[in-house]
Amino acid sequence: MMSEKSFAIEMKNVTKEFKILNRHEGLGGSLMDLFSRDYRILRAVDDISINIKSGEIVGYLGPNGAGKSTTIKMMTGVLEPTYGEILVNGNEPYKNRVRNAENIGVVFGQRSQLWWALPLVESFRLLKDIYMIPDQNYRQMLELYQSLVDIEPLLHKSVRQMSLGQRTLSDILAAFLHDPKIVFLDEPTIGLDVSMKAKIRNLIKGLNQKKNTTVILTTHDMGDVDALCQRIVIIDHGKMIYDNDIAHLKQYFGSYRTLRLRLEKSGWKEILVDESKTNVMSVISDYQKNEIVKDIKLEEISTEEVIKKIYEGAVA
């Protein structure tokens, strides 16, 4: 495959299949499994082609089991594609794992890659040695970190003593420390409270802007998408079902409005109205037949609803 210099990641017809053993019941079954050739093939990623430009933040979305993590594992060189080709910074990740690692950073959800018992700053010093980060770059990076998020209180804490949010924050800082060209974040905000999510989004955005780092982000949180991603790629059952700007997507649903009604007895109700088919006033008066409407808000379709529509197959 020809490498286009301008692309950080190129995937061409990438498929990943897992061989899954069909298990047999009981003790005899377990014995049979030892010698069994009774496999089925699970296609976790199915013929995906994408090109990602350097400096982009791409939201890689899809329901549970869609194949997001498997894709990221192939991009980071943990798994080898069954078919197709991947180039990350011009390298084949699986075949050049060491070289690939120099140019990428990775955060996998709640699994920390830091040394548990060490104060964060000691983990950073180890990473500095491992990646041979020059003193000056290291200092500048810590200064940049401090300007984006208050890291001082974290530096002398061991990861073990940290809250989940602080740990995630530390993991993200560690992933960016050697100034990699691409950072992969797999569900980074899962389980975090609102203020920590905001902090982390701010940090990712700031690092992307200052360092032009390409970011591949998987998330279920549409707040992450709204705050960070221009472009989204959606996969379902291993297949890509959407790849475009989020703005383009909202335009597609331009006639949709989110109508929020505060009803006297049942509180806030949220109704998605397609104005090309239904009149908003008629929806409101329908509600008024049964209850007193205390407040009305009309907003554009939310990212959450847009994604839901796509999962339902609204966009071909």
Ligand X SMILES: Nc1ncnc2c1ncn2[C@@H]1O[C@H](COP(=O)(O)OP(=O)(O)O)[C@@H](O)[C@H]1O
Nearer of residues 109 and 119 to ligand X, judged by Cβ: 109
How far the first Cα of the chain sits from its last, in Å, is 29
Question: Which of 65/191 has CB closer to ligand X?
Answer: 65
* CB atoms inside a 10 Å sphere around CB 310: 20
Position 93 contacts ligand X (CB under 6 A)? no
Tell which residue, 248, 247, 213, 220, has the closest CA to residue 56.
213
Amino acid identity of residue 147, one-letter, is: S
Residue 303 interacts, among Mg ion, ligand X, none and using kind-specific CB cut-offs from 5 to 8 Å, with none
Under the binding rule (CB under 6 A), the answer on residue 191 touching ligand X is no
Asked if 66 interacts with ligand X (CB under 6 A), we say yes
Give the distance from CA 35 to its chain's centroid.
39
Helix 164-176 vs helix 194-211: crossing angle, to nearest 10 = 10
For residues 8 to 37, the per-residue mask of contacts with ligand X, x marking binding by CB under 6 A and - elsewhere, is ----------x-x-----------------
The nearer residue to ligand X, 81 or 148, going by C-beta atoms, is 81
Please report whether residue 40 would count as binding ligand X according to CB under 6 A: no
User: Which residues would be at the binding site for Mg ion (CB under 5 A)?
Assistant: 68-69
- The residue assigned the tokens 């700007």 is 245
For residue 44, the partner it binds in Mg ion, ligand X, none, with Cβ less than 5 to 8 A by kind, is: ligand X
Q: How far apart are CB 312 and Mg ion at their closest, in Å?
A: 21
180 binds ligand X (CB under 6 A): no
3-state secondary structure of 174: helix
In degrees, rounded to 5, the angle at the alpha carbon of residue 154 between the alpha carbons of residues 73 and 105 is 20
